[in-house]
Amino acid sequence: MSGKKAMSAENGKMDLSGVTIEDGKVAITEYLSIDLDKETWHCRRCDQNLGSARGPYKEALVVYEREPSEIHDPVIDPEKYAFTYAPDPDWCRIIEYYCPQCATQVEVEYLPPGHPLTLNDLVLDIDSLKARHAGGEA
C-alpha cells in the first residue's frame, strides 16, 4: 500500500496530525472551530461565540438573501434572451450567512425560493470528538 497510513500499526493510536488546534480550539471548517472544554462553536476569524457545539451554529449567524444576478452577471442581454448565464430568480436564490461580529461569509446556500434553510448542515458527535482529542479512542 502506498502512502502514509492513517493509524500507526505499532501503537494503534489515531493519526490526528492533520487537525488544526488554535488557542485550544479544534478547527472544524475554514471559518468554524469548537472549544471542546466549553462545547461552543466559534468564528475562526474573530473568536465570536456561535453557541453550543451540540446545536446548529447557523442559528448564531446573520443571514441575507442575495439576488443571484448580483453575483452571476447576465452575460448576454436579458432583454433579448430568456437564458443569460445568470440564475433564474424564480428558481434560485443565494443565501449568505455571515458571522455576526466580523461579517465573514461563513456559508453560502443556493436554494429555490422559500426552501427550508439547511440548519443542521453540520452536526458533530461532541462526546466522540472530546474523547479523541483527550487521547482516547472515539
Beta carbon of residue 40, minimum distance to other proteins (angstroms, whole number): 16
Q: Kindly report each contact of residues 25-31 with a partner whose C-beta sits within 8 Å and lies 24 or more positions away, as own/partner.
A: 26/129, 26/133, 28/122, 28/124, 29/106, 29/122, 31/99, 31/104, 31/106
Question: By CB under 8 A, how many residues form the interface with other proteins?
Answer: 80
Q: Which of residues 61-120 bind other proteins (CB under 8 A)?
A: 61-65, 70-73, 75-77, 80-88, 90-92, 94-98, 100, 102-120
Beta carbon of residue 135, minimum distance to other proteins (angstroms, whole number): 13
The one among 22, 49, 54, 121 contacting other proteins by CB under 8 A: 121
C-beta of 15 vs 38, nearer to other proteins: 15
Does residue 134 touch other proteins according to CB under 8 A? no
Q: How far is 39 from 72, CA to CA, in rounded Å?
A: 38
Using the 8-state DSSP alphabet, how is residue 136 labeled?
A: S
Tell me, residue by residue from 11 to 50, as one string, x for binding to other proteins by CB under 8 A and - for no binding.
---xxxxxx------xxxxxx-------------------
Q: Give the CA distances from residue 129 to residues 7, 54, 79, 85, 112, in Å, rounded to whole numbers and listed in that order.
A: 17, 11, 54, 43, 34
C-beta of 20 vs 38, nearer to other proteins: 20
C-beta of 4 vs 37, nearer to other proteins: 4
What is the Cα Rg of the chain in Å?
20
C-beta of 26 vs 40, nearer to other proteins: 26
